[in-house]
Amino acid sequence: MAGVSQLPAERSLFTRPWPIASSHYKMTDQYMSYRDQQVIWHPYTQNHWGQYSIGISYAEGSYIFDDEGNRYIDAISSWWVNLHGHCHPFMIKSVLEQMTRIDHVIFAGFTHEPAVQLAEKILAVLPRNQSKVFFSDDGSTAVEVGVKMAIQYWVNKGIPKKKILAWKNSYHGDTFGSMSLSGRGPFNAAFNPYLFEVEFLEIPKNVHEVQNLVQNLSDDFAAFIFEPLIQGASGMRMYKADVLNQIITACKSRGILTIADEVMTGFGRTGKLFAMDYVIEKPDIICLSKGLTGGMLPMGLTTCTEEIFEAFQGEDTLKSFFHGHSYTANPLACTAALASLELLLRRSTQESIARIENQHKKFILKLGTHPRLLSIQSLGTILAMEWKVKGGTSYFSDLRDKLYQYFLSEGILLRPLGNILYIMPPYCISTEDLEFIYERIMDALEKF
């Protein structure tokens, strides 16, 4: 079996991708894929079909390599987490140095320099109304923390507000609280009897619809949670900043706390550092994860205003926020986040983000109105296109599997959301690789 270290010299990191080796599907215990199938339960996977997971043995920059030596362009940043490319030397060096000082320490009653520095630096780039940082483990738990903060805020103030608002078709995570906040559908149908009640709103298309929606808002809602400007997992649905701004303004006028789920949109994905940078009104609570550590280690953050923090202070111990995780503020993850943030703020990274954004726009203009597409749009480094399929848009469209396998065969990792194909690359992706992806998309439009 060829390992990456055995690749011929001419197969450099900058050559075009190679086809996928068929041996991934051989039933033999010498392959990682076969061994994996015997012992591992993968996420979002129907194991009954006996599909093999591709064994990855090496990753660098915007590429991942399997145990056959095949190379794939990671065009979705490995589920949106990888900002600067795999195994970035600066991030590795930073985390290795931290490992010689503190690996992990309890964060209740203790603190450490990486956590303090990260909180300081994150607050410096977030909207100015954000005052405190709460650490957790991932995007779903960051959202759980945010909603618990909002609910207990009103409990601590002695005001009976329990109802939550969210956008229809939203996605906020897979733990029970975040599932409750997400649109109801096949993925959480088994748990519906256990989810708390949420009122879901259609995203208004224009100012007139916003005004109608605002008139029906009551002040007995505790909070409104939203994915700013783009709903990710439900199909990369994009909406206007002025619509969101007016909704937040209306919520504030009625005493409804606002929670921005920036788990996907944060750290440059939308072209600005945060999606909320497009909006005049700022949220009370912000949830962060995914790109936070540049894809190196798991971590979530929830930030809030000083007003929310103060509602938990006082002589009454029961007003405390009783929430925590074993690996809260892990020093290694904090260090990875600090290194990632430093890279993100460099001029070269900001120029790369702008380059990707411009390339997406040029591709959209080049593609024009294509008969196979219902829509194509971009926001920052995210490009999404909806393919026409029988039966309408669906996450379970069989087009998903056809496109997924096709792009893998071309050496590109793209993971369509049903009939919606999207690109969300690491910022280090080359102009040539992006053009190669666009070319393969053009080919796919003729094939499928």
Strand order of the β-sheet with 71-74 is 56-60, 63-66, 71-74, 412-413
Non-local CB neighbours of 447 within 8 Å, separated by 6+ positions: 406
Which active-site residues does the annotation give? 44, 171, 261, 290
